[in-house]
Amino acid sequence: MKVTPIMTLQSASLLGEPIPADSLSTANAARSATVETARSDNPLSVQLVPSSSSATLLADWADLEQRIGSQALACSAAWTRTWLANYADLVPHHFVVARVNDQLVGVCLLTEGVGQFDGPFRLRTLHVGTAGEPDADSSCIEYNQILVEPRFRKAFVEKLLELVDRLPGWEEFRLDGFSTEDAGPLLSARTDWNVRRVECNYFDLQLAHDARTDALAQFGYATRKNLRKNLKALGNVTTEWAETPEEARSILADLVRLHQQRWNAAGYPGVYASPRFTKFHEQLIDALLPTGQLALFRVTAEEYDGQQNAVLGCVQLFVDRNRILCYQGGSAPYSTKLSPGVMVDYLCIEECLRRGFLAYDFLGGQTHHKRKLGTAAGELVWAVRRRPSWKHAVANSLRNIKRTGRRRLTELRQTLSTTDRSSNGSDDIDSDGT
């Protein structure tokens, strides 16, 4: 199928759509954002295609995905289509497409960030993949990826970066939530990345498969002891793995309720306070459950904290290349020393082991919960390329002032503490009459 490249448009924003006069770029700049190579040794053409071509392009996207056998979730047509159905009116976007002899061999979203900041300053940002949303509505993409035939990956990455370099107006170009492996070609193609690496704890299900043990046997002694004690305290429990959209929606409703109750009680809005975010995940059930790329899991206790048939907790899971991504959860309040969230994750790990998955990934960020149940760790990458800007210069200066102030305050406290101890010691000596 054919799509219209951006170079045919008459007016453009940073990414080629009609825009107000004060937006990021011009039509001429957008027309320049086509990178083509006609040499026989690299017959790759890379173009920026407008969002108006999404219906046609997503069909080609799905064909490419099937042709190369991709099992990656975040660059799948189903994920992207559902994200666009909920965020296209909020986040300006285009497609970067790579073709060889008119056949699609690579594609990714290029989005213009909304509500992105460096300190107090609003920034004009570009993002790869389903990213760039305001924090309150963000889908929090992790294990981001570009869909491309492996033999063209290096060339596509280079042409993508050349294309982005030609676009004026942006102040930061961001990679959000890529694995170390998938970020590698992008990071190695340029030397000016500012890279932040985030550890991801995961339970190695493959190790348990190979050892022919249950999940419990893979934990350390103290964790095994604690889990057994809590299982005994819970009594009879029922676990459910959603097999139908109706079951999935029922579990998601409980998850949202428990999640919101917990975070609201702590004084926070909770992620499901965003109607856009909530609708996105409701629609993902119909998009991903039939393909086995989404799962919802629920644990119900016969009795918990005085309540009969109490929902102990629920977990929303994504399946990425046969790895479970533990995306979001909701659990009942703590009761004495019993942690419902830990127990729900443990029981879910056992179910995922039974179903033959390779890993149970807790995703980015460190908590005691994740460290306790993780048996291995990987990394996710957030990387930024920054153009010279007075905003960055001022923001860096403010950060340096803040760091210096904190350091000097710490030094002053230490000095006062030492002086106070010395003074108290002198008084004691005087009182002894020495």
The pLDDT value recorded for residue 305 is 85
Cα separation of 176 and 138, whole Å? 12
Cα separation of 8 and 31, whole Å? 7
Same domain, yes or no: 151 and 179? yes
Cα separation of 329 and 252, whole Å? 9
Same domain, yes or no: 87 and 15? yes
Cα separation of 123 and 215, whole Å? 46
Domain-embedded: residue 101: yes
DSSP 301-339: EEEETTEEEEEEEEEEEEEETTEEEEEEEEEPPPBTTB-
The residue assigned the tokens 């923001």 is: 395
Cα separation of 380 and 127, whole Å? 16
The pLDDT value recorded for residue 410 is 80
Q: What is the pTM of this model?
A: 0.85
Same domain, yes or no: 224 and 358? yes
Contact 190, 173 (CB under 8 A): no
Contact 22, 4 (CB under 8 A): no
Same domain, yes or no: 273 and 369? yes
Cα separation of 265 and 260, whole Å? 8
Domain-embedded: residue 419: no
Helix %, strand %, coil % of the chain (to 5): 45, 25, 30
Domain-embedded: residue 420: no
Same domain, yes or no: 131 and 278? no
Nearest to 89 by CA among 133, 23, 124: 133
Q: Where does a domain end: 351, 374, 397?
A: 374
Same domain, yes or no: 84 and 180? yes
Report the amino acid identity of residue 50. P
pLDDT in 10s for each residue of the chain, 434 residues: 444 444 322 224 566 543 332 334 433 344 445 555 434 455 899 999 999 999 999 999 999 999 999 999 999 999 999 999 999 999 999 999 999 999 999 999 999 999 999 888 899 999 999 999 999 999 999 999 999 999 999 999 999 999 999 999 999 999 999 999 999 999 999 999 999 999 999 999 999 999 999 999 999 999 999 999 999 988 999 999 999 999 999 999 999 999 999 999 999 999 999 999 999 999 999 999 999 999 999 999 999 888 899 999 999 999 999 999 999 999 999 876 678 999 999 999 999 999 999 999 999 988 888 999 999 999 999 999 999 887 766 767 777 787 887 888 787 777 776 665 555 544 443 434 43
Domain-embedded: residue 34: yes
DSSP 52-82: GGHHHHHHHHHHHHHHHT---STTSHHHHHH
Residue 73 belongs to domain with CATH number: 3.40.630.30
Same domain, yes or no: 186 and 241? no
Domain-embedded: residue 413: no
End-to-end CA distance of the chain: 97
Q: Where does a domain end: 171, 191, 211?
A: 191
Contact 14, 48 (CB under 8 A): no
Same domain, yes or no: 351 and 288? yes
Contact 105, 140 (CB under 8 A): no
Cα separation of 389 and 172, whole Å? 10
The pLDDT value recorded for residue 414 is 76
Same domain, yes or no: 172 and 255? no
For the chain, the domain total comes to: 2
The pLDDT value recorded for residue 101 is 93
Domain-embedded: residue 385: no
Contact 3, 45 (CB under 8 A): no
Domain-embedded: residue 398: no
The pLDDT value recorded for residue 18 is 35
Same domain, yes or no: 163 and 273? no
Contact 146, 187 (CB under 8 A): no
Q: Which structural domain, as residue segments, surrounds residue 310?
A: 201-374
Contact 316, 288 (CB under 8 A): no
Same domain, yes or no: 235 and 366? yes
Same domain, yes or no: 50 and 77? yes
Contact 295, 282 (CB under 8 A): no
Domain-embedded: residue 346: yes
Q: Where does a domain end: 374, 393, 423?
A: 374
